[in-house]
Structure 1
Amino acid sequence: MAEKSRILFHLDMNSFFASVEQAYNPELKGKPVAVAGNPKERKGIIITCSYEARAYGVYTTMPVWEAKRKCPSLLLIQPTFERYRIASQAMFAILREYTNLVEPVSIDEGYVDVSDIVTGSDAVTLAETIQKRILRELDLPCSIGIAPNKFLAKMASRMKKPMGITILRRRDVPHVLWPLEVGEMHGVGDKTAEKLKEAGILKIRDLAKMTENQAIETLGKHGEKLWKRAHGMDARPVDPDSVFERKSVGNSMTLSYDETSKKELMKHIEKLSKKVASRLKEKGYVGYTVHVQIRYYDWQNRSKSRSFKEPIYRLEDIERYAKKLFSELWNGEPVRLVGVTVQQLKEPGEITEQLTFDSYQQVAKEEPVRALIQDLQKKFGETSIRKGVRLSKNEGSTSSFSKDFLNDHKRKED
């Protein structure tokens, strides 16, 4: 079945954090600027950098010491997340002036379905208008990809930076996308790229020339999706409500040095479990899966999960299961990073499974609040009030910042 003809934009802010800092302090414009963690610690890496810095070979995730070696004049700035949050809100507010079909996917990028407001010939004019408005009103550059689906729009927005506008049609796929390395394809991570290369799939062309069944045999269900995208197919709609999806709450910690002491590692697990439990309580969620991640000194990643029939939300439960999973997972080698996540989230009101007496007591305490919320929603509408929404929030962890910024869009809808 042919896809419904659509016109989608993928808007990608250029060097977002660095650009916000340059907009805030014009003296930084035209200079090599990098937003980075603490240079004195192992986690001192480049979060993002200006295009002037990139000209010296500086790139995201590069250690600060190496970036300074490549660019001695590099100006290092500690991240100021509230500025980035405000800039992101303003950018998405501009997009919503044109249509409600706006889907934020991260703090600095989102999809816009403009099918109902422009024809094909007017799409570039609208993209130019939006791009110029964001530059004029926010002093921030962006690139926009124009395509009939999300995948092609995403690929298109990457092609001209900064301040690019690129059209990518399905008929362009063979001569524009197929010559690219398979690792450059949106949706192909390092592990998938390695697996494809082991199978002799080096270019997107090679993936496209496989049969769909061969792709599935090589990569499982993910192979079907990637095979379709290699042919320029993607039926996903732009979904403004996806901002409300709940998947997981987690925290990770890059250690200051490679740790080999189990006692010390367990202390880190305790700290992370406490943060996760606190965020679950703040958001009003419970979960059904505890997930632990380990990154070893050689950057090898390992993870392990355990799912439960009863809801998980109490600190002692999260900590106990996280420690057990870590002990089962750790092979004794030096650890660079540890992470704890609670997945399969639900609000207590959504729980249908049999509860234990203790968990029932906790959920029951919240019943009057949920009843009040439901009454207000019936009277004033479902978006009039939501559990867990704050008027202001002070983010204490940079690791959760990009996930939690979506709460701003919840408040916008409210």
Structure 2
Amino acid sequence: MSRWYPKNGRVILHVDMNSFYASVEMAYNPELRGKPLAIAGNPEERKGIVVTSSYEARAKGVKTTMPLWEARRLCPELIVMRPDFNKYRKASSEMFTILSEVTSLVQPVSIDEGYIDITDCGGMGSPPEIAQWIQNTIKERLDLPCSIGIAPNKFLAKMASDMKKPLGITILRKRDIEEKLWPLPVEEMYGVGQKTAEKLKGVNISTIHDLANADVWTLKRLLGVNGERLIRRANGEDQRPVDPEAVSEFKSIGNSQTLPHDTTDENEILQLVRKLSKKVADRMERKQVVSRNIQVMIRYHNRKTITRSKQLSEYISKEEDIFHYAQQLWEQHWNQEPIRLLGVTAHDFIDVTELTQQLSLFTYKETAKNEKLYEAIDELTEKYGTNPFKQLPPSTDSSPTTSFQKDFLDDYKKG
């Protein structure tokens, strides 16, 4: 057993649910099994976008983010269903509960995937045995398939879980990377987006092997700090811990300010909204996060205070975008009475280096027109590299948000 659990190393699993939304629908309705199924918004409209699809649909060429009309052209027999929030939330919570039966070191990273550190779980069996138990238990209890990567760090575990789907269990040690990892195209490496891949190919880096052996200074000039980070990852190096509190390390970034005097002057109020929006944007840039929920707090002359928030269908980080939604909220909810204090707060974060094309329930309708956003995020990542979340002072606002990701994570933590 000691060969599986090195004294100075770690054993990390990455658990990735297979075709999650479609698989949940099949678990609720077994008649859908073996059929091409797509989860999509606005199934009745041509502009609907595929959120995810079953492997039977994928075999016909149906892909995530594909327009529904194109998916139906490729697969005329395609069954299309709308997303069901309650089903996916419940299944996710139960899946993470199963992981917590193995260890308390569970880090959810999205609704359908997470890392667990089993370094101290030798008494439960070997890593492949633990992975097999997790896979079998999720299948038996929830009737859902998953793939699991086993590795000494998070990056290699993530890459391993992608190597065999569905229902795969893959071990990827550092001594295996030359054979299993390096031959892969560079665009298949986790953390390399389309734009980054194009830049790498521009300097003759087309495989992960090429990246692992690239000149550090060349990559830093090309991609900033992120270039050096990618070289380390390509060589199997990743020191990030599995942190159960990473997602909720801070819940908000906000600024508020008391006006010099109670006022109804719209120009003065809007100037303050813009000033606060800029402060929030600057702090988000330092933390390297993007937000999907903007909140405005209004305190009136009589100290009556209201907070109103808007859940967005896309991630934002720019001052102009934050100001746009903050202004909307203020205009919609101001009762025309004198204002004493204003606050602008961003909620529902994701690290720019973790943001991927995988759709959430709140973004599937907008994905097709968000290419500029993804390019901007790529540029931020390439310029600044990874910057782990840092603790912020706790927010004084306890009002709830409607974040899908945070809701299911909160439920999991409470359980």
Q: How does 1:196-211 map onto structure 2 within 5 Å?
A: 196-211=200-215
Query: In the alignment, which residue of structure 1 is the partner of 2:362?
Result: none
Contact 1:243–1:410 at 8 Å: present in 2 too? no
Instruction: Give 1:315's aligned residue.
Output: 329
Q: Which residue of 2 aligns with 1:235?
A: 239
Contact 1:46 1:64 in 2 (8 A): yes
Question: TM-score, structure 2 length as denominator?
Answer: 0.66
- Aligned: 1:222 with 2:233: no
SS at match of 1:27: helix
Q: Is the aligned partner of 1:137 residue 2:141?
A: yes
Percent identity between the aligned chains? Answer: 52
Determine helix, strand or coil for the equivalent of 1:17: helix
Across the aligned residues of Structure 1 and Structure 2, the Cα RMSD in angstroms comes to 4.2
Say which SS state the counterpart of residue 147 (structure 2) adopts. strand
The CA deviation at 1:345 is: 11
1:276 aligns with 2:284: no
> Whole-Å Cα distance in 1 between the matches of residues 217 and 190 of structure 2?
21
Counterpart CA distance in 2 for 1:167 and 1:120 is 18
Matches within 5 A, 1:11-410: 11-41=15-45, 43-118=47-122, 122-246=126-250, 276-277=294-295, 304-305=318-319, 315-316=329-330, 336=369, 350=394, 387-388=398-399, 401-402=404-405, 404-410=407-413
Q: What does residue 414 of structure 2 align with?
A: 411
Residues paired across the two proteins, number: 315
CA distance in 1, matches of 2:168, 2:292: 44
Structure 2 stretches lacking a partner, 5+ long? 1-5, 254-290, 300-305, 334-343, 345-367, 374-388
Encode CA deviations 1:352-375: one digit per residue, 9 max, x unaligned.
xxxxxxxxxxx7xx7xxxxxxxxx
Q: What is the one-letter code of the residue matched to 1:189? A: G
1:114–1:318 distance in 2 versus 1, CA, 3 Å: farther
How far apart, CA to CA, are the structure 1 residues paired with 2:298 and 2:251?
Answer: 12
**1:260-283 deviation digits (Å, cap 9, x = unpaired):** xxxxxxxxxxxxx997337999xx
In 2: Cα distance, 1:93 partner to 1:152 partner: 24
Q: Give the alignment's TM-score, normalised by structure 1.
A: 0.66
Between the aligned partners of 1:277 and 1:120, the Cα distance in structure 2 is 46
For the 8 Å contact 1:277–1:313, the answer to whether it is kept is: no
CA deviation string 1:279-336 (max 9, x = no partner): 999xx9999xxxx9999xxxxxx9843699xxx89933999xx9xxxxxxxxxxxx94
8 Å CA contact 1:277, 1:318 repeated in 2: no
**SS of residue matched to 2:64:** coil
- Corresponding letter in the other structure for 2:164: K
2:9 alignment partner in structure 1: 5
**Aligned AA for 2:330?**
E
Cα distance, 1:411–1:120 mapped onto 2, change above 3 Å:
closer
Give 1:78 shift.
0.6
Cα deviation for residue 136 of structure 1 reads 0.4
Q: What are the ranges of 5 or more consecutive residues in structure 1 without an aligned counterpart?
A: 250-272, 296-301, 323-334, 352-362, 367-386
CA contact (8 A) 2:51 2:64 kept: yes
Q: Is the 8 A contact 1:285 1:313 kept in 2?
A: no
Distance 1:175 1:101 in 2: 30
1:144-203 C-alpha deviation (Å, 9 max, x unpaired): 000000000000000000000000001111121111111110011112112212222111
Change (3 A) 1:279 1:72: farther
CA–CA separation in structure 1 for the residues paired with 2:59 and 2:244: 36
Task: Please tell me whether the aligned partners of residues 286 and 346 of structure 1 are also in contact (alpha carbons under 8 angstroms).
Answer: no
Q: Which has the higher helix share?
A: 1
**Cα distance, 1:219 vs. partner?**
1.1
Give the letter aligned to residue 88 of structure 2.
Y
Q: Which has the higher contact order (CA 8 A, sep 6+)?
A: 2
SS in 2 for 1:277: strand
- Conserved? CA contact 2:107–2:242, under 8 Å: yes
| Pair 1:279–1:193, CA change in 2 (3 A) | farther
